[in-house]
Structure 1
Amino acid sequence: MIDILLTPRIPDPLPMGSYDSKDVIFLLKNLNGLLTETDLQTRERKIQSGGHYSEMLPIEYKPTKEYMDLFHQTLHESASKVAEAVGVVSERILKRNGSKMVLVSLARAGTPIGVLIKRYLSEIHDVDIPHYSISIIRGRGIDENAILYILQNHPESKIQFVDGWTGKGAITSVLSQACTEFKTKYGYELDSDLAVLADPGFCVKTFGTREDFLIPSACLNSTVSGLVSRTAFRPDLMGEQEFHGARFYEDLLAEDVSNLFVDTISAEFKRLVLPNPKFEGVDDQVEVTWHGLKEITTIMEKFGVEDINFIKPGIGETTRVLLRRIPERILVDNLKNPNLEHILLLSSDKGVPVEEYPDLTYSCCGIVRRL
């Protein structure tokens, strides 16, 4: 066991990303010039032959005009619904923790949601909560240096982890395991509760909704997440006291909609009708059934998939499998589901077959192709 107060002080991070530092501070090492992207086929082969996805970065998908038009349309149409879900999860977070807390979003899908929760708490409750974004990686765990930095700088505050949504609950499990390991090593107990905007997998207690609806920030990659790549873990590129790494795509500034997204949703907060009975959810009354995971087992058996990591359920995960993996097929609950326009557009663009799979818990599910 290591006393956190006696550990070497973790240096302050350098500025990174396109968000205002008042919204979020990325605890990430800038890997520009140190790590380049790997093309899709090469990356997929390396992952499927035992390489770890966190050692490589995918090439960022450049959206077509039609796809970006769909993003703006979706943002316009869903802004009030997203704002309400932010309100629900923010109220639950405040009720659980009180105001002496730190928001710690999981880069990168969690970052815009963390920004929105921070803004909601400030605007509606006049509470200024620090917000950091850190790396967590399946098979590698959480960035311990980032956690140490937060505890060294906010010793009296409770950490609340934040992500965008749940799929099959993989990151929920990784976070729980990481918190157990952190306690064993440092003697400090972290609360592994993960707050998300949408929990279609029924695997967390703190959420804004369990509906598998389209969160506009799931449509895009770095250009809606502060121009930051997905995080990478390369010990050969990081010092002992440095954070996990990521690229900062400053060359995409002209295409960046990160602040447009959070500004558009934040503008809806003042239109929310408060108090709202939906905002009164009590943790103890919320069941975590892992219902989605049970359904994934059935899909694996039906389609002969041996590795659960090849199944990507929910709108957020299906979008990502289309943007940065090679899918074999996409399953949808209903081809006329209005939440799936961008999924159908991406599938058509990439030549991926789409099948209706009635009674799906999620709106859709992506299956990675075995190479």
Structure 2
Amino acid sequence: MNKFIQNPAKIGSYREDDVVFLLKDLSEYQLEDSTANRERRVQSGQHYSESLPIEYQPPRAYVDLFRQSLDDYKRKVALCIGIVAEQIYQLKEENTVLCSLARAGTPVGILMKRYLLLRYNVSLPHYSISIIRDRGIDENALHYILEKHPQGKIQFVDGWTGKGAISLELEMACQQYEKKYGVTLDDRLAVLADPGHCTPLFGTREDFLIPSACLNSTVSGLVSRTVLNEKYIGKDDFHGAKFYRELLPSDVSNEYIDSITAEFPFITTDAVKAAAKRNLETIEAEFLGMKDVKKIQAEFSIESTHYIKPGVGETTRVLLRRVPWKILMRDPSRPYVKHILMLAKEKGVEVVIYPDLNYSCCGLIKTVKVDKK
């Protein structure tokens, strides 16, 4: 492996001691397009990572709902962070290197780092890197981490699981990395919530509302989705992202982190007990969510499982940055789906009551591609 000398760009609104983004700063480029145009291009063959959606700027009522959700669930989120952070630390201890998958994993990785600092008085290194479905992980970022921490044990971190596409992408990427460079990586993904049953390292398997799923960059350090486009990314570059400095007045990223961090002293005892019990169990990654997805695909005659996004987090993403067709909902009276009902009403998207669903809800993407003749 060649010596890696690229320095990380200083992007994002998080504190540097919370996370280092191993991303190329693409802020000067115009990468966004309307949701409708972008959806047509993606469904006609362009990879989603080559461009960016326009950042959704929510109305005041929606931001108020985010703040209410944060107030309602901050202790639950803190407990889930504590449980999975304890699992990780018991496995890898001081050699742990937290490696969040940008961008949904970044706030989760920061919270794990903060929890472990409070609990064990150890400040673990924490990086945020890119992984892209069907394109793999940023190998240059992995080179950088391994050179900086030759004795480190990388722990990959994400926000939640849907049907498990990223878990499978990570597993494949780690296999390819070992084959190319002779380095074995732990491909188990640590997440706050695992409703898809895709990993043994999780805080909960309940499909509940993680407040950071409600918003885009304004709760993720003002960093965009990651970009892999050969126009802007060379072979020695990190994958790219934009830093939305113009959204600083709307940024709640650090407010979110600080609110959850303040709950850690109240949940530590329960987190330690739950993690100790979890580590005695044999927990398999069964990818149960795909059973729901296949059933929905057949019932609604959907061309590809890529157009089916199960779970609260993934359904929120469909409404914020894709062209939604329908929302399937197990029980619209559940508190975890209030923001989804608000977004669906705002965007004129049909909500279908679908009781036979393991998730709280599921977002279906509209087919908009133009057939080539």
Into which bin does the TM-score normalised by the smaller protein fall? over 0.9
Q: Using the TM superposition, give the Cα deviation of residue 128 of structure 1 relative to its aligned residue in structure 2, in angstroms.
A: 1.1
Q: Which residue identity does 1:337 align to in structure 2? A: R
Greater Cα offset, 135-144 or 231-240: 231-240
> d(CA) in 2 for partners of 1:370 and 1:305?
9
Q: Spell out the pairing of 1:110-121 with structure 2 (5 A cutoff).
A: 110-121=105-116
Give 3-state SS (helix, strand or coil) of 2:325's partner.
strand
> d(CA) in 2 for partners of 1:182 and 1:273?
36
Give 3-state SS (helix, strand or coil) of 1:98's partner.
helix
Counterpart residue number, 1:201:
196
> d(CA) in 1 for partners of 2:223 and 2:293?
30
Question: Paired residue for 2:120, among 106, 121, 125?
Answer: 125
Counterpart residue number, 1:41:
36
Counterpart residue number, 1:81:
76
Q: Using the TM superposition, give the Cα deviation of residue 273 of structure 1 relative to its aligned residue in structure 2, in angstroms.
A: 4.8
Counterpart residue number, 1:278:
274
Give 3-state SS (helix, strand or coil) of 1:159's partner.
strand
Counterpart residue number, 1:325:
322
8 Å contact from structure 2 (residues 189, 201) kept in 1: yes
Q: Using the TM superposition, give the Cα deviation of residue 233 of structure 1 relative to its aligned residue in structure 2, in angstroms.
A: 0.0
Counterpart residue number, 1:260:
255
RMSD: 1.0
Give 3-state SS (helix, strand or coil) of 1:274's partner.
helix
8 Å contact from structure 1 (residues 205, 283) kept in 2: no
Question: Paired residue for 2:333, among 333, 336, 340?
Answer: 336
Question: Where does structure 2 lack aligned partners over 5 or more consecutive residues?
Answer: 369-373
Alignment deviations for residues 158-202 of structure 1 (CA, whole Å, 9 cap, x no partner): 100000000000000000000011111111111101000000000
8 Å contact from structure 1 (residues 206, 283) kept in 2: no
8 Å contact from structure 2 (residues 190, 202) kept in 1: yes
TM-score, normalised to structure 1, is 0.97
Q: Using the TM superposition, give the Cα deviation of residue 284 of structure 1 relative to its aligned residue in structure 2, in angstroms.
A: 5.3
Give 3-state SS (helix, strand or coil) of 2:123's partner.
coil
> d(CA) in 2 for partners of 1:46 and 1:63?
25
Matching of residue 356 in structure 1 with residue 342 in structure 2: no
Counterpart residue number, 1:54:
49
Q: Using the TM superposition, give the Cα deviation of residue 264 of structure 1 relative to its aligned residue in structure 2, in angstroms.
A: 0.1
Give 3-state SS (helix, strand or coil) of 2:199's partner.
coil
Give 3-state SS (helix, strand or coil) of 1:236's partner.
coil
> d(CA) in 2 for partners of 1:38 and 1:53?
12
Q: Using the TM superposition, give the Cα deviation of residue 11 of structure 1 relative to its aligned residue in structure 2, in angstroms.
A: 1.3
> d(CA) in 2 for partners of 1:321 and 1:99?
38
Counterpart residue number, 1:365:
362
Counterpart residue number, 1:149:
144
Alignment deviations for residues 332-368 of structure 1 (CA, whole Å, 9 cap, x no partner): 1101111000000000000000011003110000000
Counterpart residue number, 2:288:
291
TM-score, normalised to structure 2, is 0.96
> d(CA) in 1 for partners of 2:307 and 2:239?
25
Q: Using the TM superposition, give the Cα deviation of residue 240 of structure 1 relative to its aligned residue in structure 2, in angstroms.
A: 2.7
8 Å contact from structure 2 (residues 79, 268) kept in 1: no
Q: Using the TM superposition, give the Cα deviation of residue 235 of structure 1 relative to its aligned residue in structure 2, in angstroms.
A: 1.9
Q: Using the TM superposition, give the Cα deviation of residue 35 of structure 1 relative to its aligned residue in structure 2, in angstroms.
A: 3.5
Q: Using the TM superposition, give the Cα deviation of residue 236 of structure 1 relative to its aligned residue in structure 2, in angstroms.
A: 2.2
Alignment deviations for residues 266-304 of structure 1 (CA, whole Å, 9 cap, x no partner): 000011251543222117511322111111100110000
> d(CA) in 1 for partners of 2:46 and 2:65?
35
Alignment deviations for residues 250-275 of structure 1 (CA, whole Å, 9 cap, x no partner): 00001000000010000000112515
Question: Paired residue for 2:176, among 178, 181, 202?
Answer: 181
Matching of residue 20 in structure 1 with residue 20 in structure 2: no
8 Å contact from structure 2 (residues 82, 268) kept in 1: no
Greater Cα offset, 278-287 or 311-320: 278-287
> d(CA) in 1 for partners of 2:72 and 2:94?
32
Question: Paired residue for 1:139, among 121, 134, 140?
Answer: 134
8 Å contact from structure 1 (residues 102, 157) kept in 2: yes
Matching of residue 235 in structure 1 with residue 251 in structure 2: no
> d(CA) in 2 for partners of 1:273 and 1:310?
39
Q: Using the TM superposition, give the Cα deviation of residue 151 of structure 1 relative to its aligned residue in structure 2, in angstroms.
A: 0.4
8 Å contact from structure 1 (residues 10, 241) kept in 2: no
> d(CA) in 1 for partners of 2:321 and 2:331?
24
Q: Which residue identity does 1:179 align to in structure 2? A: C
> d(CA) in 1 for partners of 2:366 and 2:151?
47
Q: Which runs of 4+ in 1 moved over 4 A?
A: none
> d(CA) in 1 for partners of 2:268 and 2:51?
45
Give 3-state SS (helix, strand or coil) of 1:354's partner.
strand
Q: Which residue identity does 1:215 align to in structure 2? A: I
> d(CA) in 2 for partners of 1:290 and 1:284?
18
8 Å contact from structure 1 (residues 10, 148) kept in 2: no
Q: Which residue identity does 1:147 align to in structure 2? A: L
> d(CA) in 1 for partners of 2:242 and 2:260?
26
Percent identical residues: 53
> d(CA) in 2 for partners of 1:367 and 1:40?
15
